[in-house]
Amino acid sequence: MRSHSCPGNSQSWDLSPPTKPASSRSKESEALPDVVVSHFLTDHSLKTVAMENDSSVIEFILIGLTNQPELQLPLFFLFLVNYVVTVVGNLSLMNLTVLNSHLHTPMYFFIFNLSFIDLCHSLVLTPKMLMSFMSEKNIISFAGCMTQLFFFCFFVHSECYVLTAMAYDRYVAICKPLLYTVAMSPQVCFLLMCGSYVMGFAGAIAHTANMVRLSFCDTNTINHYMCDIFPLLQLSCSNTYANELVDSIIVSTVVTLSSFIIFISYALILSNILHISSTGGLSKAFSTCGSHMITVALFYGSGLFTHLKTSSADSVDQGKFFSIFYTNVVPMLNPLIYSLRNKDVRFALKKTLKRFAN
DSSP per-residue codes, 274-321: HT---HHHHHHHHHHHHHHHHHHHHHHHHHHHHHHHHTSGGGHHHHHH
Q: Residue 344 above 80 pLDDT?
A: yes
Cβ atoms 100, 352 nearer than 8 A:
yes
Alpha carbons 229 and 251: distance in angstroms, whole number: 11
Distances (CA, A) of 353 to 95, 100, 251, 341, 345: 12, 12, 42, 19, 12
Q: Residue 26 above 60 pLDDT?
A: no
What pLDDT does residue 279 have? 63
Q: Residue 354 above 90 pLDDT?
A: no
Q: Residue 210 above 80 pLDDT?
A: yes
Backbone angles phi, psi at 66, to 5 degrees: -150, 155
What pLDDT does residue 280 have? 61
- Mean pLDDT of the residues in the chain: 81
Three-state DSSP class for residue 82: helix
User: Hey, what amino acid is at 134?
Assistant: M
Tens of pLDDT along 195-209? 999 999 999 999 999
| pTM for this model (two decimals) | 0.79
More confident residue, 53 or 82: 82
Alpha carbons 203 and 347: distance in angstroms, whole number: 38
Q: Residue 227 above 70 pLDDT?
A: yes
